[in-house]
Structure 1
Amino acid sequence: MSRNVGDEMMRLLEVLRHQPTDKWVRARLGGRIVADSRAALLVWEPRRIVPTYAVPEADVRAGLVPVEAAPASDLPVLHPGIAFAAHSTPGQAYDVRLGDEVRERAAFRPDDADLAGHVLFDFDTFDWTEEDEPIFSHPRDPFSRVDIRRGSRHVRISRDGVLLAESHRPTLVFETKLHPRFYLPRADVTAEAVPGDMVTACPYKGRATYLSFAVGENLAWTYSDPLPEAAQLAGLVAFFDEVVDVTVDGIPRKRPDSPVAKVMKDEFGIS
């Protein structure tokens, strides 16, 4: 019987996973080395949708002070907005000490034989490089890809009956395990938009700023200076399909039931 690859990947979400990497990985705090490794692992805790780095203890340059772990998380999905300290597998938490600097619960050693001798570090707490390139937001997933394709579909986006954008020249972004996104020329955004109050980072595309409308805040985002791999997206505008109504070639699309929808409802009151 043939199996759907996407479904199989989602089943793995429930288990502790790891993948070796050949990248030279370094973490810094204020310019000082916390970890320096050529034998790092990418680790996904159960229900974590993005990986973090674990390094052999011998490659750690900072002090690790054992502390009581935070209560185990029972959230169905641990998206990047969920703090590193919310672990979903048993283990020992540590404060990281480097000279006079202390970062609370910024390291974790899982109780797992396959990860013995490795320590996970909070990505957001430190400055990271792969080889000599800085990276941000989270490590890239080697099993994910982002495909950017110009299109000619007729895309209409509205909310509460108000037309926000309409275009026959969308750029479509297909990202593994995520719903497609429609990026539209700014000229095709028909409703008045003002700068929102959020800035987020994507390791594949760059730093995004947000746009708000009369019918909702931070409903859309744009990359003014995307990473080279996503240069086609510069200046285009994408909307959260989770909270707007999208029609493509005259066919309404169902709003995705994704972790993003829950975050927008719980943290921003948008539904």
Structure 2
Amino acid sequence: MSTRMRDAMGQHFKELRHEPTEKRVRATLGGQTIVDTTSPVLVWEPRRIVPTYAVPAADLRASLVSAGAVEAGGPGFLHPGIPFSTHSTAGEAFDVSAGGQTREKAAFRPTDADLRDHVVLDFDAMDQWFEEDEEIHAHPRDPYHRVDARASSRHVRIEDGGRLLAETTRPVLVFETNLPVRFYLPREDVVAELTASDQVSYCPYKGQASYWSTGDRANVVWSYLDPLPDAAGIGGLVAFYDDLFDVTVDGKLRDRPGGAVVRSLREEFGVS
């Protein structure tokens, strides 16, 4: 019987996973470059969705002070909102100091033979990260995560309680690993009044998103005005948070994603 690729990859979700890369990776803290290595390793702790970098201890130029032993714990599903200091594998935590700055429990050494010469660093605790000469944000890119933006002629209609918000036959559909398809529309095909917001967010694969509100719904429309190369096809287009709106595609009303993303991942990987 054939195995679905998603199932094959999910079989090890509850295990400590790693993947070496040949990228040159640098990190700064307190105005100092504390990591400059061409031997980094992407690490996923058990049940964590996104990776972070482990670097050879020999390439770390910062002071490490033990913050104590760590036992495996944490909730069943470690999404990006779960802090780095929550570990799902045993090891030792460290405070990291450089340039007059100290980040508590910002380093971790798992009790694992394959990673014994490496230190895992809290991405958010560092001032900056670079892959080669490009600054990266939010978290390292997962080499097994894809973003495919495809121009389409599907008829997409977005409504809010029967009120038309947007309608187009020239959307760009974004297919992103483990996420529901999103529909990006030309601004000219939006009939709803949009009010600019100060909110921004950052996706490691698509770039920085700007937000708009419509009616009494705040920050439910977004756009990547200057997207990263992987998402160049959606530059300047707008997407509606279709968890809250009715989206009809070629005459068929789609189910709202709701909490389906997290829920489906939990079911798929057998975590609560």
Q: Do they superpose with TM above 0.5? A: yes
Aligned to 2:11: 11
- Kept in 2, the 8 Å contact 1:197–1:218? The answer is no
Aligned to 2:42: 42
Q: Amino acid of the residue matched to residue 229 of structure 1?
A: D
CA shift at 1:57, angstroms? 0.9
Q: 1:30-57, CA deviations, whole angstroms, 9 ceiling, x for partnerless residues?
A: 4311222111100111222111100111
Q: Give the secondary structure class of the aligned counterpart of 1:12.
A: coil
Which runs of at least 4 in structure 1 moved beyond 3 Å after TM superposition?
A: 68-72, 159-162
- Kept in 2, the 8 Å contact 1:242–1:260? The answer is no
CA distance in 1 between counterparts of 2:146 and 2:250 reads 26
Q: Amino acid of the residue matched to residue 59 of structure 1?
A: D
Q: Give the secondary structure class of the aligned counterpart of 2:11.
A: helix
Aligned to 2:211: 210
Q: Amino acid of the residue matched to residue 29 of structure 1?
A: L
Aligned to 1:219: 220
Aligned to 1:267: none
Q: Is the aligned partner of 1:182 residue 2:183?
A: yes
- 1:163–1:11 CA distance, 2 compared to 1 (3 A): farther
Aligned to 2:261: 258
Q: Give the secondary structure class of the aligned counterpart of 2:106.
A: strand
Give TM-score, length-normalised by structure 2.
0.88
Give TM-score, length-normalised by structure 1.
0.88
Aligned to 1:119: 119
- Kept in 1, the 8 Å contact 2:32–2:99? The answer is no
Q: How high is the sequence identity, in percent, across the aligned residues? A: 56
- Kept in 1, the 8 Å contact 2:157–2:164? The answer is yes
Q: Amino acid of the residue matched to residue 234 of structure 2?
A: L
Aligned to 2:159: 158
CA distance in 2 between counterparts of 1:260 and 1:132 reads 37
What does 1:76-91 correspond to in 2, within 5 Å?
Answer: 76=77, 78-91=78-91
Query: For structure 1, which runs of at least 5 residues remain unmatched after alignment?
Result: 262-271
Aligned to 2:52: 52
Q: Amino acid of the residue matched to residue 142 of structure 2?
A: D
CA shift at 1:239, angstroms? 2.1
CA shift at 1:184, angstroms? 0.6
Q: Amino acid of the residue matched to residue 97 of structure 1?
A: S
- Kept in 1, the 8 Å contact 2:178–2:261? The answer is no
Query: How many matched pairs?
Result: 260
CA distance in 2 between counterparts of 1:236 and 1:70 reads 46
Q: Amino acid of the residue matched to residue 203 of structure 1?
A: P
Q: Amino acid of the residue matched to residue 5 of structure 1?
A: M
Q: Amino acid of the residue matched to residue 261 of structure 2?
A: S
Aligned to 1:67: 67
Query: For structure 2, which runs of at least 5 residues remain unmatched after alignment?
Result: 265-272
- Kept in 1, the 8 Å contact 2:51–2:139? The answer is yes
CA shift at 1:89, angstroms? 1.8
Q: 1:194-242, CA deviations, whole angstroms, 9 ceiling, x for partnerless residues?
A: 1234211112211001121224222121011112332221111112233
RMSD (Å), alpha carbons: 2.1
- Bigger relative contact order (CA 8 A; separation at least 6): 2
Q: Amino acid of the residue matched to residue 185 of structure 2?
A: L
Q: Which range moved further: 238-247 or 43-52?
A: 238-247
